[in-house]
Amino acid sequence: MEVATKAVVHLSQQRGRLENEYMRSLMNFNFGRYQSQEKEPFGTLQVFNEDTLAAGKSMSMVVEENTEVIIIPIAGTLSFKNDLGKDLFIKQGQLQLFSAATQMSYEITNPLKNDALVNFLQIWLYKNEYPFTPHTHQFDFDLSLTNHLHKVLYPSNLHQRAYCFIGKYDGRKKDDYVLKNKNNGVFAFVIEGIFEVQDRLLHAKDALAIWDADEIDFEALANGAILLLLEVPCL
């Protein structure tokens, strides 16, 4: 008898929301002033925010413990600075990793003008393995190569056993992801389009947290659909 996959759907409209006149943050898990019993972290994945910044505006962040900070632009180009002296740009098709030690900070700025917004994902992984060495690294990926997953992060770049994949798919294209560690879980987030993941229908900005699974099956239901998969230790 087949055992159903254990999973929780995170609908986009049910995310936490914090905003002011120049920024908006939509949160899948508890973060800052937003706290809910139903929004507990998923294993080592503690923060998964979709942020939007107005032109010329900045946001500054400080980590409270050793943290893998991952920044992925969805629309626009970002300016990124951190306590390691790095000052660089992050554009679409790039992933920025900052392995930040306790109390380290970073700043993200929208360098664009004429009311142009930037939209990006901000992801934090906690519970890192020791020893922890702060560093900054940028990874490129090419989504013009469609219908397969691009591996953009893996343990040799991190202080923990986590993986990150991104793929762009044509409509009705199917694929699967085999977990690297059967004790891990997978957080699937639809950046764009519509997917069916493990028999759950997910629209843009919906997510699915999955555990006790060896393999993840998915199908794109729209052309140009983009899926992000994070495999992380489940604590």
Q: What is the CATH number of the domain that holds 106?
A: 2.60.120.10
Task: Tell me if 175 sits within 8 A of 223, measured CB to CB.
Answer: no
Q: If you average pLDDT over residues 137-156, what whole number do you get?
A: 96
Question: Dihedrals φ, ψ of 59, to 5°?
Answer: -135, 135
pLDDT of 203 reads 98
pLDDT score of 127: 79
In this structure, are 129 and 24 located in the same domain?
yes
For 11-22, write each residue's pLDDT tens digit: 999 999 999 999
- pLDDT for the residue numbered 4: 58
Cβ contacts of 123 within 8 Å, gap of 6 or more: 45, 47, 48, 49, 69, 70, 71, 72, 230
Is a pLDDT exceeding 90 seen at residue 2? no
**105/58 same-domain check:** yes
Residue 200 has pLDDT above 70, yes or no: yes
- Contacts of residue 161, defined as CB under 8 A and 6 or more positions apart, other chains included, come to 129, 155, 180, 181, 184, 233
Residues 25, 136, single domain; the answer is: yes
Task: Dig out the tokens for 225 from the structure.
Answer: 């659909």
What's the mean pLDDT in 34-60?
A: 92
Please tell me whether residues 111 and 149 are part of one structural domain: no
The domain boundary, picked from 102, 124, 140, lies at 140
Our count of domains for the chain comes to 2
Question: Do 20 and 111 have their domain in common?
Answer: yes
In sequence order, what DSSP letters do the residues of the chain get, joined into one string?
Answer: -PPPPEEEEE-GGGSEEEE-SSEEEEESS-BTTB--TT---BTTEEEEEEEEE-TT-EEEEE-SSSEEEEEEEEES-EEEEETTS-EEEE-TTEEEEEEEPTT-EEEEE----TT--EEEEEEEE-S--SS---EEEEEE--TTS-SSEEEEE-GGGSSSS-EEEEEEE-TT-EEEEE-SSTTEEEEEEEEES-EEETTEEE-TT-EEEEES-SEEEEEE-STTEEEEEEEEE--
Residue 1 falls within a domain, yes or no?
no
pLDDT band at 3 (very low <50, low <70, confident <90, very high): very low
**One domain, residues 79 and 114:** yes
**19 and 123 share one domain:** yes
112 burial (CB, 10 Å; 0-12 / 13-18 / 19+) is middle
176 and 160 assigned to the same domain = yes
Single pTM value for the model: 0.95
- Tell me which of 120, 140, 160 is where a domain ends: 140
